[in-house]
């Protein structure tokens, strides 16, 4: 069993960001446990054709390590290359442990330490655990009759089967979310027939993704700080659009008008227009950015099917009107299981209570990072820290810095165990509920952001406010106790 001071779970932007913060602090003893054989999180897993970020590249890097990107919006391979580069630039290779699919994380109140157990039997003993497993890591599939019975190739967008040749095939796609609108146009370029099953229409804005000029790239490579102004401008734009989602009615109406005008400029057919017009408040689900979505839908060999799916059969999909659609390949663009957060990992806290039991009324965590009853257990990208606009890396950086500062503050006070106070958690929950009230997320649509009408996943205020709040590190919100072993070298 390996014994360390801090065990980080996950090697995406969050886990690596946490590792970098620990390196900057006095904590040298840490490991990054990764279930796969390489780093990258969501950007390692989502390799579907057309996968690229819908946040502008200038904002899609750590603030302290800008990158020279090739396009306005970076593609999956380029982001993954950046993440690999980060590992080397910050000397993290030696801290990585691959093939560690974590099954359980168990606290022992006598030793005040955690045992982190992997599916392969490996165990790590740590004083502190930081889980950074993301919110979008477990594919969700539709609950429909006959699921799994399709005899041809069938796969989820996050588990793309690149061995399946789609050229000349009849392809069925279920879902019209952020992933589907990126891969459908690519599929439609080669398939003989593409049918998309839509349950609700997305709001889509044009993306416009030009290459970054050689001159600009040279400037950015020579003077990395030259990106700062563009970064601030892009951030401010995200904050402005975000106001519409958070509650500003004028901006919300403007966003809706922009989305519909963009759709109507491409889609002329009145039936298809009707089908492409969302029946819910703009911003309730993620607003999508694309240049090829509607252009794909108007192609002759592409069909948008809005009848509900009744069942999946060995040969295709039957819709509620009794029609049967035959396919050679079926692709699920049906998103992720987002409401259970850290599951299927079992996290057992101080009193033997699991995180799942603690969250039986919906997940919540103080500042999105800490839960009473789980001493020295922190989360990055936890409950209420997802965004409707702007870059999630900004949130992850704030969280990693906050956790590292908390540990440092406690260490300076000679303390090694931190457990958030239930009173702090309650005030936090009240604040989240209050600010969620005006957001588009709880205006009535079905999305991966809410559970029983409660906003469990998103940060309901301006993004900059979260960073300001996370800069304020105060042990008063925590019950702080001594730890038998403050640091064990790796
Ligand atoms: P998603 O947004 O949750 O979309 C899932 C889609 O599947 C929805 O259209 C949903 O319909 C549909 N669906 C589910 N069950 C269905 C059923 N039984 N019948 C018909 N349709 C069904 O998932 P995603 O597209 O994978 O995106 C998830 C998140 O990943 C995004 O919100 C975003 O945060 C992130 N993402 C980001 C990027 C990026 O560029 N940065 C790219 C891809 C994904 P309903 O809408 O009616 O539920």
- Please check whether residue 90 lies inside any domain of the structure: yes
Judged by DSSP in three states, 67 sits in coil
Give the residue whose CA is nearest to atom 18 of ligand 1.
142
Q: Are residues 292 and 195 in the same domain?
A: yes
Check pocket membership of 76 for ligand 1, CB cut-off 6 A: no
Output the pLDDT for position 431.
98
Please give the share of the chain, as a percent, with pLDDT higher than 90. 93
- Please check whether residue 145 lies inside any domain of the structure: no
CA 29 / ligand 1 centre spacing (Å):
39
Q: Are residues 328 and 341 in the same domain?
A: no
Q: How confident is the model at residue 486 (pLDDT cuts 50, 70, 90)?
A: low
Give the residue whose CA is nearest to atom 17 of ligand 1.
142
Q: Are residues 201 and 328 in the same domain?
A: yes
Q: Are residues 132 and 199 in the same domain?
A: no
Check pocket membership of 175 for ligand 1, CB cut-off 6 A: yes
Check pocket membership of 441 for ligand 1, CB cut-off 6 A: no
Output the pLDDT for position 122.
96
Q: Which of 108, 42, 180, 185 is nearest to 351 (CA)?
A: 108
Output the pLDDT for position 488.
47
pLDDT, tens digit, 9 for 90 and up, residues 14-68: 999 999 999 999 888 999 999 999 999 999 999 999 999 999 999 999 999 999 9
CA 45 / ligand 1 centre spacing (Å):
16
Check pocket membership of 445 for ligand 1, CB cut-off 6 A: no
State which residues form the domain around 27.
2-138+337-481
Check pocket membership of 156 for ligand 1, CB cut-off 6 A: no
Check pocket membership of 387 for ligand 1, CB cut-off 6 A: no
Q: Are residues 357 and 465 in the same domain?
A: yes
Would you give the DSSP letter of residue 124?
E
d(CA 396, CA 381): 6
CA 155 / ligand 1 centre spacing (Å):
15
Check pocket membership of 448 for ligand 1, CB cut-off 6 A: yes
Mean pLDDT (whole number) for 191-202: 98
Check pocket membership of 446 for ligand 1, CB cut-off 6 A: yes
Element (H, E) at 394: helix 392-412
Q: Are residues 108 and 133 in the same domain?
A: yes
Considering 286, 311, 332, which residue would you say is the last residue of a domain? Answer: 332
Please give the share of the chain, as a percent, with pLDDT higher than 70. 99
How many structural domains comprise the chain? 2
Q: Are residues 163 and 304 in the same domain?
A: yes
Q: How confident is the model at residue 489 (pLDDT cuts 50, 70, 90)?
A: very low
- Closest atom, ligand 1, to C-alpha of 51: 42
Give the residue whose CA is nearest to atom 39 of ligand 1.
53
Q: Are residues 94 and 207 in the same domain?
A: no
Mean pLDDT (whole number) for 206-219: 93
CA-to-CA separations, 476 to 60, 404, 419, 423, 484, in angstroms, rounded? 33, 16, 11, 11, 21
Q: Are residues 193 and 288 in the same domain?
A: yes
Q: Are residues 89 and 162 in the same domain?
A: no
- Please check whether residue 147 lies inside any domain of the structure: no
Considering 287, 313, 332, which residue would you say is the last residue of a domain? Answer: 332
Considering 332, 353, 372, which residue would you say is the last residue of a domain? Answer: 332
Domain of 231, CATH number, reads 3.50.50.60
SS (H, E, C) 422-470: HHHHHHHHHHHHHHHCCCHHHCCCCCCCEECCEECCECCCCHHHHHHHH
Give the residue whose CA is nearest to atom 16 of ligand 1.
142
Judged by DSSP in three states, 120 sits in coil
Instruction: Identify the bridge partners of residue 311 per DSSP, sorted by sequence position.
Output: 145, 318
Q: Are residues 353 and 418 in the same domain?
A: yes
Check pocket membership of 179 for ligand 1, CB cut-off 6 A: yes
CA-to-CA separations, 478 to 356, 364, 373, 415, 418, in angstroms, rounded? 22, 16, 11, 11, 6
CA 455 / ligand 1 centre spacing (Å):
17
Q: Looking at the predicted structure, is the pLDDT value of residue 90 above 70?
A: yes
Mean pLDDT across the chain, nearest whole number? 95
- Please check whether residue 245 lies inside any domain of the structure: yes
pLDDT, tens digit, 9 for 90 and up, residues 299-357: 999 999 999 999 999 999 999 999 999 999 999 999 999 888 888 899 999 999 999 99
Element (H, E) at 173: strand 170-174
Tokens coding 375: 């001493």
């Amino acid at each position: 069993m390996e014994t360390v001071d801090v065990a980080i779970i996950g090697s995406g932007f969050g886990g690596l960001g946490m590792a970098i913060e620990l390196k900057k602090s006095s904590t040298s003893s840490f490991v990054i446990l990764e279930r796969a054989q390489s780093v990258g999180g969501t950007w390692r897993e989502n390799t579907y054709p057309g996968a690229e970020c819908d946040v502008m590249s200038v904002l899609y890097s750590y603030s302290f390590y800008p990158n020279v990107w090739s396009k306005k919006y970076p593609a999956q391979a380029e982001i993954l290359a950046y993440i690999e580069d980060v590992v080397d630039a910050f000397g993290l290779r030696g801290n990585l442990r691959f093939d560690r699919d974590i099954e359980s994380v168990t606290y022992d109140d006598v030793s005040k330490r955690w045992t982190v157990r992997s599916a392969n039997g490996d165990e790590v003993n740590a004083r502190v655990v930081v889980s950074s497993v993301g919110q979008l890591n477990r594919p969700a599939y539709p609950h429909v009759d006959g699921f799994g019975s399709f005899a041809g190739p069938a796969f989820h967008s996050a588990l793309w089967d690149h061995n399946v040749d789609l050229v000349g095939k009849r392809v069925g796609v279920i879902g019209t979310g952020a992933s589907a609108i990126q891969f459908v146009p690519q599929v439609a370029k080669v398939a003989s027939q593409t049918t998309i099953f839509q349950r609700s229409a997305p709001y889509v804005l044009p993306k416009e993704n030009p290459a970054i000029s050689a001159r600009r790239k040279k400037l950015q490579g020579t003077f990395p700080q030259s990106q700062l102004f563009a970064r601030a401008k892009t951030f401010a734009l995200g904050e402005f659009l975000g106001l519409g989602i958070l509650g500003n009615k004028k901006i919300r109406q403007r966003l809706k008008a922009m989305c519909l005008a963009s759709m109507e400029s491409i889609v002329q057919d009145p039936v298809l227009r009707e089908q492409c017009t969302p029946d819910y408040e703009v911003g309730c689900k993620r607003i999508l950015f694309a240049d090829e979505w509607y252009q794909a839908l108007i192609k002759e060999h592409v069909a948008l099917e809005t009848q509900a799916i009744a069942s999946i059969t060995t040969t295709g999909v039957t819709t509620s009107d009794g029609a049967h659609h035959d396919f050679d390949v079926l692709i699920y663009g049906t998103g992720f299981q987002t409401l259970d957060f850290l599951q299927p990992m079992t996290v057992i806290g101080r009193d033997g209570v699991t995180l799942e039991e603690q969250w039986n009324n919906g997940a919540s965590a103080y500042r999105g990072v800490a839960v009473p009853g789980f001493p020295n257990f922190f989360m990055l990208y936890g409950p209420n820290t997802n965004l409707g606009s702007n870059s999630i890396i900004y949130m992850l950086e704030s969280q990693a810095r906050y956790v590292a500062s908390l540990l440092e503050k406690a260490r300076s006070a000679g303390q090694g165990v931190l457990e958030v106070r239930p009173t702090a958690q309650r005030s936090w929950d009240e604040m989240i509920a209050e600010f969620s009230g005006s957001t588009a997320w709880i205006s009535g649509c079905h999305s991966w952001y809410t559970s029983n009408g409660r906003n469990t996943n998103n940060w309901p205020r301006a993004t900059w406010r979260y960073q300001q709040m996370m800069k304020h590190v105060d042990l008063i919100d925590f019950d702080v106790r001594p730890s038998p072993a403050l640091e064990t070298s790796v």
